Chains A and B, each alone.
Chain A
């Protein structure tokens, strides 16, 4: 059985319009390539054309008005060191970037690739969901923007149409009063393995009362989810250790993990409780009113 990865054509369009025209022309027989760290491992068969995003000027991080704009082809190593992401809550994205794969992979892998790969274990997506990020897709009919939490439909499935290209990630700029945290449990905590469970939380408090919270869970459902029941446990309540524990347990109830080579479903659920509790505690300490 030979499922050879032998595309016969390679294109490097110089504009988004050109790229979209190629996607429209070739449909499912073409694949976009950026860092290559997912595509060249999966090596999908029956791909006839590769469309390289390297010529599209999509490597950038900038702040405009009340939004951080990140080009889809920005490599993960640049997220680790960007001065735009040094404050809370945005630093959760830096934490996710630093925990992802290895430094060598991070020199290659891109933020857009991590999102479009559609893995429920993706680290960057999870931190971005907790930051209310959205993604901008460019297609033949123009561009559309949708919340990242609605972009993933299931394992390897996203809302991106075959003729669309994910061009940009946008993070709303907040007042900077909230804290955030990204945590990941790996088997043996080795660098190369993906998450058994990963969690990103963001929390803002006024006078000890939770006014805003996101609890994003990864690797525990067919896509990444916001644990809304758990969030509701916290909203408008005074944060206490007991309340945080209650929210963490509610999050575990919302998780729908599977058993696989990395862990059992039951273990994953229990680890959701532990990671959510720890992540919320850390996010709370990082809120402006708790910072030293």
Chain B
């Protein structure tokens, strides 16, 4: 089986990888780079557990081939942490109890992060739309939506009490 060499920048570090033509980006991230925070749920683009950012946009890494990401900048859930501190969205999810089993959480947080970068002051409806490709099968969306709104306030520098 012929393989291809690609260079991708993941969470700020460039990696050279040898991948198969049909290898999914999510598999390259998880199995070649050990970044298992990105999950595989449905594998068909419905559930959003595999959401990562490619060049700043939220995309589904189960419907992206690794070769398509050649030369691009990718951010996974592991790349959001700021030093030893959780990212404000992660912190808001923890504080608000917005995760239950946690399988959908990385995808939700990455999708939320991509939205907040171009819309720092979203309405609740806009948050729901931004998370509409992220399915949670445990408990629902109330707490994740509240957590994203809270994180947005914190990121805007507003006092959140």
Question: Which residues in A have some Cβ–Cβ distance to B below 8 Å?
Answer: 5-10, 12, 33, 35-37, 40-41, 50, 52, 54, 77, 101-105, 107-108, 191-192
A77 closest partner in B (C-beta): B57
B48-82: CB near A (< 8 Å → 1, else 0) gives: 10010000011110111101100000000000000
Q: Which of A5, A8, A192 contacts B132 (CB 8 A)?
A: A192
Chain B residues closer than 8 Å to A36, beta-carbon distance: 63-65, 68
Q: Which 5 A-B pairs have the closest CB atoms?
A: A102-B133, A191-B132, A10-B21, A104-B133, A107-B57
Q: In the docked arrangement, what's the CA distance between A105 and B24, Å? A: 16
Given contacts A54-B68, A77-B57, A105-B45, contact A40 B63 (CB under 8 A): yes
How many residues belonging to B are interface residues under a CB distance threshold of 8 Å?
A: 28
A8-B2 in contact (CB<8A): yes
Least Cβ–Cβ distance between A81 and chain B, in angstroms: 10
Chain A residues closer than 8 Å to B62, beta-carbon distance: 40
B133-A41 in contact (CB<8A): no
Most B Cβ at <10 Å: residue of A9, A52, A54, A103: A103
16 CB < 8 A contacts A-B: A6-B20, A7-B21, A8-B1, A8-B21, A10-B21, A35-B63, A36-B68, A50-B65, A54-B68, A102-B132, A103-B58, A103-B130, A108-B59, A191-B129, A192-B46, A192-B133
Least Cβ–Cβ distance between B62 and chain A, in angstroms: 8
Q: In the docked arrangement, what's the CA distance between A6 and B21, Å? A: 8
Chain B residues closer than 8 Å to A6, beta-carbon distance: 1, 20, 22
Q: In the docked arrangement, what's the CA distance between A149 and B46, Å? A: 30
Given contacts A33-B65, A36-B64, A36-B68, contact A104 B111 (CB under 8 A): yes
B44 at the interface (CB under 8 A from A): yes
The tally of CB-CB contacts under 8 A between chains A and B is 75
A50-B60 in contact (CB<8A): no
A9-B63 in contact (CB<8A): no
8 Å CB interface, B2-35 against A: 2, 4, 20-22, 24
Least Cβ–Cβ distance between A42 and chain B, in angstroms: 10
Least Cβ–Cβ distance between A70 and chain B, in angstroms: 19
Most B Cβ at <10 Å: residue of A36, A50, A101: A36
Chain B residues closer than 8 Å to A50, beta-carbon distance: 21-22, 65
Q: Which of A9, A52, A104, A192 contacts B58 (CB 8 A)?
A: A104
Chain A residues closer than 8 Å to B2, beta-carbon distance: 8-9
Chain A residues closer than 8 Å to B57, beta-carbon distance: 77, 107
Chain A residues closer than 8 Å to B46, beta-carbon distance: 192
Least Cβ–Cβ distance between A115 and chain B, in angstroms: 18
B24 closest partner in A (C-beta): A40
Q: In the docked arrangement, what's the CA distance between A107 and B57, Å? A: 7
Q: Which of A7, A10, A37, A103 contacts B63 (CB 8 A)?
A: A37
B133-A10 in contact (CB<8A): no
A104-B68 in contact (CB<8A): no
Least Cβ–Cβ distance between B47 and chain A, in angstroms: 9
Most B Cβ at <10 Å: residue of A5, A10, A37, A52: A10
Chain B residues closer than 8 Å to A104, beta-carbon distance: 48, 51, 58-60, 111, 133
B22-A103 in contact (CB<8A): no
B60-A10 in contact (CB<8A): no
A52 closest partner in B (C-beta): B68
A103-B129 in contact (CB<8A): yes
Q: Which of A9, A10, A191 contacts B65 (CB 8 A)?
A: A10
Q: Which of B22, B44, B60, B67 contacts A108 (CB 8 A)?
A: B60
Add 11 more A-B contacts to A33-B65, A40-B63, A103-B132 (CB < 8 A): A6-B22, A9-B2, A10-B67, A12-B67, A41-B44, A41-B63, A52-B67, A102-B48, A107-B58, A191-B129, A191-B132
Least Cβ–Cβ distance between B28 and chain A, in angstroms: 14
A6 closest partner in B (C-beta): B22
Chain B residues closer than 8 Å to A105, beta-carbon distance: 45, 60, 133
Most B Cβ at <10 Å: residue of A8, A54, A102: A102
Chain B residues closer than 8 Å to A102, beta-carbon distance: 48, 132-133
Q: In the docked arrangement, what's the CA distance between A40 and B24, Å? A: 9
B22-A7 in contact (CB<8A): yes
Least Cβ–Cβ distance between A281 and chain B, in angstroms: 25
